[in-house]
Amino acid sequence: MSTTPILPDDGTVPDRRRFLFLQGPHGPFFDRLGRMLRAAGAEVWRVGFNRGDEVFWRDRRSYIPYDGPTADWPETFRTLIADRQITDLVLYGDVRAIHADAIRVARAAGLVVHVFEEGYLRPYWVTYERDGSNGNSRLMRLDLDEMRQALAQCDTEMPDSPSLWGDMRHHVFYGALYHAQVMFRNARYRNFQPHRDLPVTREFQLYLKRLLLMPWLALDRMTATTRIRRGGFPYHLALLQLEHDSSFQQHSPFDTMAEFLELVIEGFAAGAPAHHHLVFKAHPLEDGRVPQRQVIRRLARQHGVAGRVHYVRGGKLARLLNDARSAVTVNSTAGQQVLWRGLPLRVFGDAVYAKPHFVSQQPLPEFFAAPMRPDSRAYRDFRSYLLETSQVAGGFYSARGRRQLLRQVVDMMLAPDDPYEALAQGRPTPRHMLKVVT
């Protein structure tokens, strides 16, 4: 198969695009996306690696089960794209092994690689890029001056975040349903290996437990948040992530979350004023597979700050950010909410927003003692650039979010240029013509 690009140089779209989907977000989003691409005149295929993939893809004729050994996947994929004359690869996340292998083959074959991810400005947007996301995103190689030059090509008003919360219940529900399918109905896929270390049975148990305990977790979260907000003390936030998340595993210097927790508590104890407190904010999908609260309590006692360290389960970040002095994180996308409020931020991993204009480089004790504020004007330019390019209004998990997303993203996928190149060339894309609606 030729290694030259599939898309022609004159900016036109081939008469017949052929899309191959790999693994997507839990739920029916990839199925709906495939249907709309067919309606646009494209051929669409889906490779499934387990029963969870299969159950969320309704068109049996275009479904291709893969039950071979993981070691055979790259060669199988190479044969598949040649036999089907695939022009485009579509996937969710780019670092799990089967996706990383496929991307390497696809690039060599000249395919267009479409990567979906949770929004860099989540939860009201999702991320659509080509070739890579997060630490592999083109954003990592772009400096602020290039972004400002591209923004000069357009004159649009930056949308505000919608007033409605995201679709966490749908996310948890589809996650539980997906893992139940893999656990109870996966006999066809005898060689399937999850991209995470935890057994599928345990994944299902954790999703189900979280779904059932959501009312109690909400009460615990509300109680802890109220206690902090009424405490009257200055506090700093530590924004936690899922230890098994690809951004943490692939784009940070830590092997475990415990390493980050110890670094933060040690730095806080060494540098923060004695009347300041530290609040650890858990990820909304934290399910207890890592005993974060117990580790935090032990480390706080060890460093002599037990009475000044708090833990909050998930929930909306805004309630805590409004009164915070600063925030630290590995590379959570929640860091962008910190910067949007003009608060000092210290980042330890690779992140698309970790630009020197608005992320502190201070040693952690110095940061907690006297954190340097970001250049808020520079960050607003960066945020505007994201909203004009890769951030697409909508969501993967709720019906309403999918409808909003599909109105925009299909045309972006069919466009000859990726969102960043389109803006740099001054070519209007479907994204530029739409605003977030509530």
322 in any annotated domain = yes
Q: Do 147 and 232 lie in a common domain?
A: no
pLDDT of residue 197: 58
Q: Do 362 and 397 lie in a common domain?
A: no
pLDDT of residue 428: 59
**In sequence order, what DSSP letters do the residues of 272-309 get, joined into one string?**
S-TT-EEEEE--TT--SSS-HHHHHHHHHHHTT-GGGE
Asked whether the beta carbons of 295 and 256 are under 8 A apart, the reply is: no
Q: Do 405 and 363 lie in a common domain?
A: no
Asked whether the beta carbons of 438 and 425 are under 8 A apart, the reply is: no
Q: Do 231 and 366 lie in a common domain?
A: yes
Q: How far is CA 196 from CA 56, 103, 192, 244, in A?
A: 20, 19, 12, 7
pLDDT of residue 414: 96
433 in any annotated domain = no
Q: Do 351 and 401 lie in a common domain?
A: no
Q: Which residues lie closer than 8 Å to 62 by C-beta, 6 or more apart?
A: 34, 44, 45, 46
Instruction: List average pLDDT for each run of 10 residues in the chain, which is 438 residues long.
Output: 38 72 97 98 97 96 96 97 98 94 97 96 91 95 94 69 61 85 89 68 62 64 82 95 83 93 98 97 76 93 96 82 95 93 96 95 97 95 94 93 94 95 79 44
Buried b (16+ CB within 10 A) or exposed e, 143-173: ebeebeebbeeeeeeebeeeeeebbbebbbb
pTM above 0.75, yes or no: yes
177 in any annotated domain = no
Q: Do 64 and 41 lie in a common domain?
A: yes
- Which sign, positive or negative, has the C-alpha torsion 296, 301, 302, 303? positive
Instruction: Determine phi and psi for 63, rounding to 5 degrees.
Output: -95, 130
- Which sign, positive or negative, has the C-alpha torsion 209, 214, 215, 216? positive
pLDDT of residue 290: 75
Q: Do 284 and 345 lie in a common domain?
A: yes
230 in any annotated domain = yes
**In sequence order, what DSSP letters do the residues of 380-422 get, joined into one string?**
HHHHHHHHTTTEEES-SSSHHHHHHHHHHHHHHHHSSS-HHHH
Q: Do 123 and 155 lie in a common domain?
A: yes
**Residue 294 tokens, joined:** 């117990």
Q: Which residues lie closer than 8 Å to 376 by C-beta, 6 or more apart?
A: 339, 342, 358
pLDDT of residue 136: 95
- Which sign, positive or negative, has the C-alpha torsion 198, 199, 200, 203? negative
38 in any annotated domain = yes
CATH number for the domain that contains residue 331: 3.40.50.2000
**Residue 273 tokens, joined:** 């004023």
295 in any annotated domain = yes
Asked whether the beta carbons of 249 and 279 are under 8 A apart, the reply is: no
197 in any annotated domain = no
**Residue 211 tokens, joined:** 């779904």
Count of the separate structural domains present in the chain: 2
Asked whether the beta carbons of 435 and 159 are under 8 A apart, the reply is: yes
Task: Tell which residue, 353, 327, 316, 310, has the closest CA to residue 121.
Answer: 353
185 in any annotated domain = no
Q: Do 399 and 368 lie in a common domain?
A: no
Range of the structural domain that residue 405 is part of: 18-166+390-425
Q: Do 89 and 28 lie in a common domain?
A: yes
- Alpha-carbon Rg for the chain, nearest whole angstrom, is 22
DSSP-assigned letter for residue 360: B
CATH number for the domain that contains residue 70: 3.40.50
Q: Do 39 and 59 lie in a common domain?
A: yes
Q: Do 231 and 355 lie in a common domain?
A: yes
Cα(318)–Cα(327) distance, rounded to whole angstroms? 12
pLDDT of residue 52: 94
pLDDT of residue 434: 43
Considering only the C-alpha atoms of the chain, give the largest distance between any 2 of them, rounded to a whole number of Å. 67
